[in-house]
Structure 1
């Protein structure tokens, strides 16, 4: 199919978005929604999941006829005349490619060749981002364009109100509510069965001292509500998917797909973020709200995969906690002036593209590349 679509004539007004990022901060999906509303003169198609070995011939025809091919993971195109705009799906904090401790030389060299051959424009938001990405995948500097990332447009424009989100996920009303969201990274790669067993049993933090009832009671006493958004792999193995807690709710992809939401279109309604080594925290800095960093598997991650920057406590502008006891001890004061200033420092370092029209900047960079 891929070979046959090379013979399809290219249409200058056709854009195809190969979305491998689902609905969890997908530049591709947010850009797709933007194009539909703001540039009806273009014929835009969203193809997901990507990559897929089961695409219909119709989808391959769309890929083959597109002048612009947009990707969120590996760059891809089938013809020299096509322009590939590479969004990627996060500012890297964990090592990947040639920098990672758990990758193979042959795979890394193949990926480098793909980027050299297929990526025409690589979206960027800072010199730091370009340095981190090139360290991992050896991207040539001339490919970068500082345009920001479409997903950032969604942060300050929630598609529903905080009250609606509270009603949807917690079935309650609370004028004093503080909504937090917990988004850990992919912990399966730690290859630690004990971590997976804890998660499977309902211990989504994988704390040694986890107590769901105690955590829920502490949140309830403070009018705090916690949304748990696990990696899809972890969510599939989670036994207690339907929360019986009043102040803890699990957000799955079904909710996002059923409502045509991307997660970033809801993040603006939250009051704080909890994460471990996920690059989401770089994006959350745009909201200038508290971030809690979970460090109970920091040493294992540094050994198995590695981090691109460190020491960890110096690059994370927020409270670092290692256990539920420490978490509960910090719920009353998630922020202070020192942490606030550190967030602003890291925002300036990781984002040199100002404004809130990242989708439009991406569109201009793409269409003016001819």
Structure 2
């Protein structure tokens, strides 16, 4: 699609669209007029009814609400000026009118299922249906907390079912004879209507949560302690939110997620750090070849480093400023293997996988938490994984080469970055090599006290019982009433 010389608005106003606007302006010569958003106010943010300037396009980028925004705007604004944007394989895809029409057909099908959900849940209440089922909702991917609590409850013999639209993970659960249904199926909506609890660790399918009956309960576990700023979820309120400490609730989560009760039980995904052995359910979606390699070498002279950069919104922003040949030589010298766990936007790095003796590429959607137990050094930047890694009190390197740009795009950090990142900081490859040498060769680690201090602030519990606490004190406690 041609944007040169055009006047463009972008909707809605989020950290993602802020980054989108910045990158798009670097690629195209156009006039950026600002953001269109029904729910936010600020400089260069207008509601659809407030648009007075002449414009050529409004680009709509929202993974969960794109169709709803498009339908709402199309009632007030010329449809031929509305462009829906998706991110596919790291590139921005500007949908044609027919593609938008097809996605709207899917959206209408979803709305019919939502109506069915509301009616079914109400009818089950009227006939006095006894609800015992716990339904886990995982859109796009079954991620860490949902997986950990689901497998725990399954092994306990509770009536559970995983709802997902990730076909590969769906098949893997089927292979293990675990209860699973396709998220977009009518069966899934029937299971939601029957559920006593719906459990999530992402902020999607919020409309479905709002359609449940008052006799049903919702539990949100979220996907980590946030470092970057997040917009408040105003469209849904949960019955329970799983957190890690009062400090985290007061400073971040309560400002993002609305819930009736906040439970500081910790994250189920972190239980695996304390387990002596891992069974086949713990290793679900795990790259077992790499896991076995790390477990074999952990505690030996050969060190395991894991690099997990945070998610960037596009392939350009996600590219890592590293010379992998040079890095591989440094790793050989230090007797270290580096495992990279990258977002699927950076798939092109896989093409070079065979070239490096000391660099391994973890599957992009695989569960890395079993591997963290056998990791000597974590390299990251702004990802919440490093908060969890504090429970192991091992060295962390913050490869924050784009800190200023990232901070600006994300509207700042929730915590003071320097205080809340206890580890070595590397702004370039040379500094990264130096940090690795100090930890591995010299044996220097002057941040252990800082890590322990931060851990005690962020985690009320530092044990392996988060799943058990949630299961007994929340799920089973309510079901048995």
TM-score normalized with structure 1 length: 0.80
Structure 2 distance, partners of 1:269, 1:263, is 11
Task: Tell me the matched-pair count.
Answer: 326
Residue among 135, 149, 154 paired with 1:36: 154
Determine helix, strand or coil for the equivalent of 1:219: helix
Shift of the 348–243 alpha-carbon distance from structure 1 to 2, 3 Å rule, reads: farther
Determine helix, strand or coil for the equivalent of 1:366: helix
1:366 corresponding residue in structure 2: 475
1:278 corresponding residue in structure 2: 383
1:307 corresponding residue in structure 2: 413
2:141 corresponding residue in structure 1: 22
Larger gyration radius, structure 1 or structure 2: 2
Structure 2 distance, partners of 1:128, 1:326, is 33
Q: Does 1:150 align with 2:268?
A: yes
Shift of the 360–194 alpha-carbon distance from structure 1 to 2, 3 Å rule, reads: closer
Structure 1 distance, partners of 2:455, 2:402, is 25
Moved more, 7-16 or 59-68: 7-16
Shift of the 253–211 alpha-carbon distance from structure 1 to 2, 3 Å rule, reads: closer
Structure 1 distance, partners of 2:460, 2:297, is 39
Assess if the C-alpha contact under 8 Å between 2:134 and 2:196 holds in 1. yes
- Segments of structure 1 that go 5 or more residues without pairing to the other structure are 99-110, 200-205, 257-261
2:192 corresponding residue in structure 1: 63
1:217 corresponding residue in structure 2: 329
Determine helix, strand or coil for the equivalent of 1:90: coil
Assess if the C-alpha contact under 8 Å between 2:244 and 2:459 holds in 1. yes
Residue among 358, 365, 375 paired with 1:247: 358
Structure 1 distance, partners of 2:450, 2:379, is 17
Please report how far the alpha carbon of residue 19 of structure 1 lies from its aligned counterpart in structure 2 after TM superposition: 2.1
Per-residue CA deviations over 1:218-253 (Å, capped at 9, x if unaligned) read 111222111101123333x54626342111111114
Structure 2 distance, partners of 1:92, 1:121, is 18
Assess if the C-alpha contact under 8 Å between 2:165 and 2:183 holds in 1. no
Please report how far the alpha carbon of residue 86 of structure 1 lies from its aligned counterpart in structure 2 after TM superposition: 0.7
Assess if the C-alpha contact under 8 Å between 1:274 and 1:294 holds in 2. yes
2:226 corresponding residue in structure 1: 92
Shift of the 212–53 alpha-carbon distance from structure 1 to 2, 3 Å rule, reads: same
Per-residue CA deviations over 1:339-365 (Å, capped at 9, x if unaligned) read 010110010010012432110111122
Determine helix, strand or coil for the equivalent of 2:304: strand
Structure 1 distance, partners of 2:352, 2:427, is 24
Assess if the C-alpha contact under 8 Å between 1:21 and 1:89 holds in 2. no
Assess if the C-alpha contact under 8 Å between 1:149 and 1:362 holds in 2. no
TM-score normalized with structure 2 length: 0.62
Determine helix, strand or coil for the equivalent of 2:132: strand
Report 1:111-260 matches (<5 A). 111-115=233-237, 119-134=238-253, 136-137=255-256, 139=258, 142-157=260-275, 159=278, 165-166=289-290, 175-188=300-313, 194-196=316-318, 199=319, 206-207=320-321, 210-235=322-347, 238=349, 240=351, 242-253=353-364, 256=366
Shift of the 241–30 alpha-carbon distance from structure 1 to 2, 3 Å rule, reads: farther
Please report how far the alpha carbon of residue 287 of structure 1 lies from its aligned counterpart in structure 2 after TM superposition: 1.0
Assess if the C-alpha contact under 8 Å between 2:290 and 2:362 holds in 1. no
Assess if the C-alpha contact under 8 Å between 2:164 and 2:182 holds in 1. no
Shift of the 173–151 alpha-carbon distance from structure 1 to 2, 3 Å rule, reads: closer
Structure 2 distance, partners of 1:231, 1:213, is 21
Assess if the C-alpha contact under 8 Å between 2:390 and 2:452 holds in 1. yes
Structure 2 distance, partners of 1:137, 1:167, is 34
Shift of the 16–341 alpha-carbon distance from structure 1 to 2, 3 Å rule, reads: same
Please report how far the alpha carbon of residue 194 of structure 1 lies from its aligned counterpart in structure 2 after TM superposition: 4.8
Per-residue CA deviations over 1:128-186 (Å, capped at 9, x if unaligned) read 2212334642635x52112111111012336389xx7558669x979532111111111
Q: Does 1:5 align with 2:117?
A: yes
Determine helix, strand or coil for the equivalent of 1:356: coil
Assess if the C-alpha contact under 8 Å between 1:125 and 1:350 holds in 2. yes
Determine helix, strand or coil for the equivalent of 2:117: helix
Assess if the C-alpha contact under 8 Å between 1:147 and 1:365 holds in 2. no
Please report how far the alpha carbon of residue 336 of structure 1 lies from its aligned counterpart in structure 2 after TM superposition: 4.1
Q: Aligned-pair RMSD on alpha carbons?
A: 2.8
- Segments of structure 2 that go 5 or more residues without pairing to the other structure are 1-112, 167-180
Q: Does 1:297 align with 2:402?
A: yes
